[in-house]
Copies of this chain bind each other. A is one copy, B any other.
């Protein structure tokens, strides 16, 4: 196939060259640990724990003091060495007061570190010139598709694997230090810190098979927003504790800890028996001179290693902060007395972080085996490494602070995150409409989102509030008026009901949705087809936060997609009248739309004067013009507009909107791509006609749009072009410029980025219809030796096909690694089998 333009990568584009490593210089690389709806702590490229987001809201940049691991080693007959078990602190070093002691920046540390993350598992390899041992950290939080609960445990498992490089017996200790964060923390301008609560207790606890530190506060009762606790434990046997660091002045606490640890790797308990002071006893933050109101605690694991021996030092960090505000934000929250606070889902299963700890140790092998099985299933794929990165890294969104999972079962998502709070409330239908990841990994949660939309937010007249806030007793108001419905969001939600049905085969779900789905579809004609010609021409609010006026491809393809989905669902619901009605409207609307909007290369917006109303696209080539078509492909709904036009239009999108250099790109909007980076802009005007003020994001680059276009290109046969876009995205996220596990748009961990799961679907040609009990595969690359992950609502596993070298026959193999697929027909290009 001829290339669409000359900016493509070389042949390498099909091969898997292995996951990337991020050295300590990759300051932006931060791998999120933590479960669904639990919050997170991230693992940085230095092996540091950063961005403590365990307190029920985002917290990018939150540093806890004294929170580092350290290693002590003594090779027989040699002096001992102690270092912070982190890579070097990268520049700039330009803070107004240098680095404060609680950062441990002044202590010796490892010569280098390299983080490799294959979500959900991360590894950090540490090197050091002085130590007689090599150290590697393995970090993860259990992640098992379809097992939502066990993918939602508030914990981080940190296992250091230490290998004695020397020919001598070597004693090694690794200490984990953790500040008791209950009650919160503040830093003064100097960087002295002080607890905001007080009465904190760091307790040594021992169980039969594990022991560790349990950190809590005596100040808060169970219903307090600040109530909670953390635990740092181990199953290693030889452990010493310093449950409470020296309560000293100035920088004494760090001095005492380091002197103690670096002497012999063992820690002295200083014998404190009282909780930290209560906050109310001091007036101001002057913590160099007064009590700090919370304490750091440490535990040190000690092992003796024979020459060349490797041993494991296991640390399990768990947290428990069950209470959160009963709402999205100050604006949209329950204000009724006694109901201001709600709980995380995990509080239904656990009573404390110690409880969480017990559960994990009791189920350790299973949780680990199944998590690693998923990891292996995904990463043993023959898909290109950057594609695997794109697919896997955005799973992060589901387990980031972008999402919450409440005890009443609601799974909720912001669009993304500010540094310190969720950004843009309400399961936003048009943004989440691009996402595929959740539907294919935790379909139960995805169905919950449909229920929220259709059972809670759909009004009597079929108007669906595209932001769901009613569960918090609120209404969605925008600029002091009731917000309009969003055409792409509402029609997309209809299509997604069909998706959820196909993935799950859950007839009860479909039956429940059905009357509401019909109502939501009917609304489109009432609301947006002002002249009854079955072409949407009204004022159409959409994902660009503005309204398109008049007929336009984005809106209209969604309308067509929804018609097709409803037609299919009507057949299942045996509502043949509705099915036929949809088909009739679809046929008419489709041909009128094509006539009206096709310009020979792509679809345009039909508007007399593109400058009469601001923020239109007019003659522009919109990257999202075929979004609904891409979704229709995933759902097996066929072409919504003539195939040759769709095929030509997706080519035009790549041709006109993909840029291999942004140095001279003029963008007066928000900037996500710069300089010599590559990316796909949201819109361009190859034939002129750019409005004076085009829609407000038209010159921007969004990974969610890039992924859906890439997926679509692959579906239409333009595999190289699709992969080119994906490779460009991951190159931009190189750990130095941006975090590989955080694709930003209107906020961190942006939901739209979960469109990347479409790459797995399109490249493997995977189709699922659990209603019909059928799945199928049709890989489009590496056909002679192809492996990839697949998932349905009941099972997941791997698909492999290989060409028999002699016969040339393609031999497929499917493995079910989790769940049950019995009775399901599997179709491949060469065979059909029933499991």
Q: Which residues of A does B touch, CB under 8 Å?
A: 27-28, 60, 88-89, 91-101, 103, 105-108, 111, 130, 189-190, 248-252, 254-255, 258-259, 262, 289, 416-421, 423, 479, 614-615, 663-672, 674-675, 692-693, 696, 699-700, 736-739, 742, 744-748
A-B contact pairs, 16 of them (CB 8 A): A28-B92, A94-B742, A94-B744, A96-B416, A96-B748, A97-B423, A99-B670, A100-B670, A101-B668, A111-B663, A130-B664, A189-B419, A189-B421, A252-B614, A258-B666, A258-B668
- Closest Cβ neighbor of A733 among chain B residues: B94
Is there contact, CB below 8 Å, between B666 and A108? Answer: yes
List 9 tightest A-B contacts by C-beta distance, closest first. Answer: A106-B667, A106-B671, A99-B671, A254-B668, A91-B737, A255-B668, A98-B672, A105-B671, A98-B670
- Beyond the given A28-B92, A91-B736, could you list 18 further A-B residue pairs with CB under 8 A, ordered by the A residue number? A89-B674, A93-B674, A94-B738, A94-B744, A96-B418, A96-B419, A96-B747, A97-B670, A97-B744, A97-B747, A105-B671, A106-B674, A106-B699, A107-B668, A130-B664, A189-B418, A251-B670, A252-B693
- Complex Cα distance, B106 from A419, in Å, reads 22
Chain B's nearest CB lies how many Å from the CB of A253?
Answer: 9
Is there contact, CB below 8 Å, between B747 and A423? Answer: no
Is there contact, CB below 8 Å, between B417 and A96? Answer: yes
Contacts of A418 in B (CB 8 A): 96, 189
Is there contact, CB below 8 Å, between B93 and A668? Answer: no
Chain B's nearest CB lies how many Å from the CB of A647?
Answer: 32
Chain B's nearest CB lies how many Å from the CB of A30?
Answer: 9
Is there contact, CB below 8 Å, between B251 and A671? Answer: no
Chain B's nearest CB lies how many Å from the CB of A167?
Answer: 23
Chain B's nearest CB lies how many Å from the CB of A287?
Answer: 13
Contacts of A479 in B (CB 8 A): 289
* Contact A106-B668, Cβ < 8 Å, known A27-B92, A418-B96, A744-B95: yes
Contacts of A693 in B (CB 8 A): 248, 252, 255
Is there contact, CB below 8 Å, between B665 and A106? Answer: yes
Contacts of A259 in B (CB 8 A): 692
- Complex Cα distance, B692 from A97, in Å, reads 24
Chain B's nearest CB lies how many Å from the CB of A101?
Answer: 5
* Contact A675-B88, Cβ < 8 Å, known A289-B479, A670-B101: yes
- Closest Cβ neighbor of A419 among chain B residues: B96
Is there contact, CB below 8 Å, between B696 and A98? Answer: no
Is there contact, CB below 8 Å, between B27 and A670? Answer: no
Contacts of A614 in B (CB 8 A): 249, 252
- Complex Cα distance, B666 from A91, in Å, reads 19
Chain B's nearest CB lies how many Å from the CB of A10?
Answer: 25
- Complex Cα distance, B44 from A94, in Å, reads 14
Is there contact, CB below 8 Å, between A744 and B664? Answer: no
- Complex Cα distance, B665 from A98, in Å, reads 16
- Complex Cα distance, B411 from A728, in Å, reads 56
Chain B's nearest CB lies how many Å from the CB of A361?
Answer: 34
Contacts of A250 in B (CB 8 A): 615, 696
Contacts of A94 in B (CB 8 A): 28, 737-739, 742, 744
Name the prevailing secondary structure of the A interface residues: loop
Chain B's nearest CB lies how many Å from the CB of A87?
Answer: 11
Contacts of A736 in B (CB 8 A): 91-92
- Complex Cα distance, B97 from A417, in Å, reads 9
Chain B's nearest CB lies how many Å from the CB of A258?
Answer: 5
Contacts of A92 in B (CB 8 A): 27-28, 736-738
Chain B's nearest CB lies how many Å from the CB of A5?
Answer: 21
Contacts of A667 in B (CB 8 A): 106-107
Contacts of A248 in B (CB 8 A): 693
- Complex Cα distance, B289 from A479, in Å, reads 8
Chain B's nearest CB lies how many Å from the CB of A282?
Answer: 12
Give the one of A420, A663, A667, A748 with max B CB within 10 A: A667
Chain B's nearest CB lies how many Å from the CB of A175?
Answer: 15
Chain B's nearest CB lies how many Å from the CB of A40?
Answer: 15
Chain B's nearest CB lies how many Å from the CB of A372?
Answer: 30
* Contact A669-B101, Cβ < 8 Å, known A96-B419, A423-B189, A696-B250: yes
Chain B's nearest CB lies how many Å from the CB of A17?
Answer: 23
Is there contact, CB below 8 Å, between B739 and A664? Answer: no
- Complex Cα distance, B664 from A262, in Å, reads 13
Contacts of A130 in B (CB 8 A): 664
- Complex Cα distance, B748 from A251, in Å, reads 21
Contacts of A98 in B (CB 8 A): 670-672, 700, 744-745
Is there contact, CB below 8 Å, between B746 and A666? Answer: no
- Complex Cα distance, B128 from A664, in Å, reads 11
* Contact A251-B96, Cβ < 8 Å, known A130-B664, A423-B189, A674-B105: no
* Contact A106-B251, Cβ < 8 Å, known A91-B737, A423-B96: no
Contacts of A262 in B (CB 8 A): 666
Contacts of A289 in B (CB 8 A): 479
Chain B's nearest CB lies how many Å from the CB of A609?
Answer: 18
- Complex Cα distance, B673 from A106, in Å, reads 8
Chain B's nearest CB lies how many Å from the CB of A446?
Answer: 25
Contacts of A189 in B (CB 8 A): 418-421, 423
- Closest Cβ neighbor of A734 among chain B residues: B91
- Closest Cβ neighbor of A130 among chain B residues: B664
- Closest Cβ neighbor of A251 among chain B residues: B669
- Complex Cα distance, B96 from A251, in Å, reads 34
- Complex Cα distance, B98 from A96, in Å, reads 26
Chain B's nearest CB lies how many Å from the CB of A802?
Answer: 41
Is there contact, CB below 8 Å, between A663 and B108? Answer: yes
- Complex Cα distance, B89 from A672, in Å, reads 12
Contacts of A99 in B (CB 8 A): 670-672
The 8 Å CB contact of A93, one of B108, B737, B746, is B737
Contacts of A89 in B (CB 8 A): 674
Contacts of A417 in B (CB 8 A): 96
- Complex Cα distance, B409 from A30, in Å, reads 52
- Complex Cα distance, B696 from A289, in Å, reads 13
Contacts of A103 in B (CB 8 A): 671
Is there contact, CB below 8 Å, between A251 and B664? Answer: no
Contacts of A106 in B (CB 8 A): 665-671, 674, 699
- Complex Cα distance, B418 from A738, in Å, reads 28
Give the one of A105, A254, A670, A748 with max B CB within 10 A: A670
- Complex Cα distance, B369 from A596, in Å, reads 70
- Complex Cα distance, B402 from A465, in Å, reads 54
Contacts of A254 in B (CB 8 A): 668
- Complex Cα distance, B95 from A633, in Å, reads 34
Contacts of A96 in B (CB 8 A): 60, 416-419, 423, 744, 747-748
- Complex Cα distance, B107 from A263, in Å, reads 56
- Complex Cα distance, B262 from A273, in Å, reads 71
- Complex Cα distance, B94 from A693, in Å, reads 27
- Complex Cα distance, B97 from A421, in Å, reads 13
Contacts of A101 in B (CB 8 A): 668-670
Is there contact, CB below 8 Å, between A665 and B108? Answer: yes
- Complex Cα distance, B105 from A99, in Å, reads 30
Chain B's nearest CB lies how many Å from the CB of A115?
Answer: 16
- Closest Cβ neighbor of A696 among chain B residues: B250
- Complex Cα distance, B255 from A693, in Å, reads 7
- Complex Cα distance, B711 from A648, in Å, reads 75
Chain B's nearest CB lies how many Å from the CB of A359?
Answer: 34
- Complex Cα distance, B479 from A745, in Å, reads 48
- Closest Cβ neighbor of A58 among chain B residues: B96
- Complex Cα distance, B92 from A674, in Å, reads 11
- Complex Cα distance, B779 from A718, in Å, reads 75
- Closest Cβ neighbor of A253 among chain B residues: B668
Contacts of A739 in B (CB 8 A): 94
Is there contact, CB below 8 Å, between A93 and B738? Answer: yes
Give the one of A100, A107, A255 with max B CB within 10 A: A255
